[in-house]
Amino acid sequence: MAGRLFGTDGVRGRANELLTAPLATKLGVAAAQVLTERGEFASHVSDRPFAVVGRDPRISGEFLQAAVSAGLASAGVDVIDVGIVPTPAVAFLTDALGADLGVMLSASHNAMPDNGIKFFARGGHKLADDVEDAIEAHLEIAINLPTGGNVGRIRSDHELVERYVHHLNSSIDVSLEGLTVVVDGANGSASTVGPEAYRRAGARVISIHCEPDGININDNCGSTHMESLVAAVKEHGADLGLAHDGDADRCLAVDADGELVDGDQLLAILARGRKSREQLVGNTVVATVMSNLGFNIAMRESGIDVISAAVGDRYVLEEMRIGGFTIGGEQSGHVVMSEFATTGDGVLTGLHVMAEMKRAGASIAELAGCMSRLPQVLINVKGVDKAATGHESLVSEIQAVEAELGDTGRVLLRPSGTEPIIRVMVEAPTAELAQAAASRLASAVEKHCSLN
């Protein structure tokens, strides 16, 4: 395995190719041993640490969950299998149950053949980079494994998700009665939890792509394929549509006319609402370097400061913790509300956006109108050396484009944290200028960073 095994969101790759059962078992053992050595495990009545383990519906999650649970148990950790749940449910239950570790089997928005393993520390927080590095370095070390009655036990409790749903609904203080919402569950972890939480909050719910079979997750549905959501919102005359991804840690929306409301706009709606009630800590919101310039402009006009973090909700959370801020997010729809969650939570986001609609007596289109998106073009250049972005000729090309755009736009090149991809993003005054500049830079990346 060349390079760092952990990406921006755990270990992710093609199931049974990169991410195999033996690797999942080793990761379970290594995580248990590293956290034991660091003194991260609390003292429990049973004298054994325990972990919460959940998964999304993809079929490879069945054997991978069994493998990682076996690794944990073999290292002396008791395991509670909470079944098919959203990633934020595992984070919440890790904290709520006082667990020492949380593990989620999911590749998020990736296609079905992929899968991933995400770890949460005690309290439901994602592991720090140095802890992940230590786990990776520990993969081939399995020393002093317990025997006899000291090995861990594995039990299932699929009813614990109800505790999570109750938590979601208790986070809002207004009824959503009168709102009709179409929910696209991506045939993933939100398929049951999302519609149920929205119904309990009072909304009329129409569900699409909420029938997971292990194979259809993210298949032309969810937050990466919103065409059917747009059609359903128009067909049913709904007030809005909400789209989740495979593990339900993100949320995107469409308004009653089928127009996209992206993560930047959802974050703007939530931040402005909280500021209006004097609930925005430090008058600050944390976004990322990929956030649209229109978001920054809208926040400035609203008297809200913006802190830009690296891409990934773990880095948004890091900036939030440093400053004590309570809301942050990404254009992709990961929104973190730290008063209620330790990670991005798509269903929580949907509930609070609809609550803002009810409080304001306004449509989501009216609320999202607080910001105008600058034309933005994103091109994913595949099959490239992610470490080659400092190539002298490529840097010169980037500087030339930046000079041409001046203060009216910007350029960002970002290596993917999970794939051999360099993302080229350009914002400009017009879509034509943005497309031309992005295509020019994508060609330069292909020329100077190709693996072939």
- Residues 252/243, Cβ–Cβ less than 8 Å: yes
The residue with tokens 């991410």 is 19
Residue 19 gets which letter from DSSP?
B
Query: Does the CA dihedral 180-58-138-102 come out positive or negative?
Result: positive
Residue holding tokens 């755009």? 405
Q: CB–CB of 76/151 below 8 Å?
A: yes
Sheet-wide strand order for 410-415: 376-382, 421-427, 410-415
Residue in 69, 74, 106, 108 annotated catalytic = 108
- Measured CA angle at 74 (ends 71, 78), to 5 deg: 90
Unique residue bearing structure tokens 């952990």: 6
**Rounded CA separation 313/345 (Å):** 10
Instruction: Assess whether 108 carries a catalytic annotation.
Output: yes
Nearest to 5 by CA among 143, 139, 141, 111: 139
Closest CA to 240 of 274, 265, 205, 292: 205
Beta strands (DSSP E) in 227-333 are 240-244, 251-255, 260-261, 284-288, 305-309, 327-329
Residues contacting residue 323 through CB under 8 Å, at least 6 positions apart: 282, 284, 286, 307
Query: CA separation (Å) from 446 to 379, 391, 417?
Result: 11, 12, 18
Q: Are 14 and 114 in contact (CB under 8 A)?
A: yes
**Rounded CA separation 241/256 (Å):** 8
> Does residue 195 sit in helix, strand or coil?
helix
Active site residues: 108
